[in-house]
Structure 1
Amino acid sequence: MSSAAPLVRAQGFSGHNRISTQALTSLAKAAAAQLLGVEAEDVRADWADDDGLLALSLVTPISIPPLNAVAADASRVDAAGGSIRERTVTAKARILAIVTELSGARLSRVDIRISGARISEGGRVR
């Protein structure tokens, strides 16, 4: 029997894993777009250092139901996920969780500025 050392340590692998800013930005934009019902290319994402953690700042439109449909049936607001403010607050927490879970990056916060509204035709807002 040989007493040669194993090629891989049981504790883990040595080296570094890095996720580029571009990959993090694409992930953040995709998460925001999905949660707010818009296209990812309509979302702008910027990063800042926040005492060693990442602070994410998003500027994005939000999808809303047609106003005449809301006037005819106010429950469309609830079907869309609530008011713009409620949806934005919920999205902030979910974007932070998604980006953290999928990338392993440590975010301190997510700030969202709504830059406009996109009228969603037809059914429910995504």
Structure 2
Amino acid sequence: MDLMGENHPVIGIVLFVVLLFQPVLGALHHVMFKKYSRRTVWSYGHIWLGRVAITVGMVNAGLGLRLSQETRLFAPSQGAVDAYWVIAVIIWLVYMASVVYGEIKRGRSSGKGGVDTPPRYRQAEGEELRQYA
């Protein structure tokens, strides 16, 4: 049975290949953030690739359940598939709410309309103020 024409395996392979870039983008984000003390294009690439990959992965899992029903390789009940979608949507909504909340909080805490700055720490008596990135 050839399943490579189906959406689930194609999306899974593309997602796997795309995610090979995630550690590279993460390393570039780290190096550039330490250098410039703010997010760079590499940071946003790492962040958004991760967010999109999580979403696509959740959808692809549901497509895999549907495909398994159609091919009868592993036939989950319709109730199990429906439960997956309900739980996946709830988790995705909570995830998106936390992303939005985090970005709003990040923008407020920087005091510069969302410009990224590393955290500042209070100095001890007789010690100069340091920044950590």
Structure 1 or 2: larger strand share?
1
- Shared fold, TM over 0.5: no
Q: For this structure pair, what is the TM-score category when the shorter chain's length is used for normalisation?
A: 0.3 to 0.5
Alignment TM-score, normalising by the size of structure 1: 0.33
Structure with more contact order per residue of length (Cα contacts < 8 Å, sep ≥ 6): 1
The structure richer in helix per residue is 2
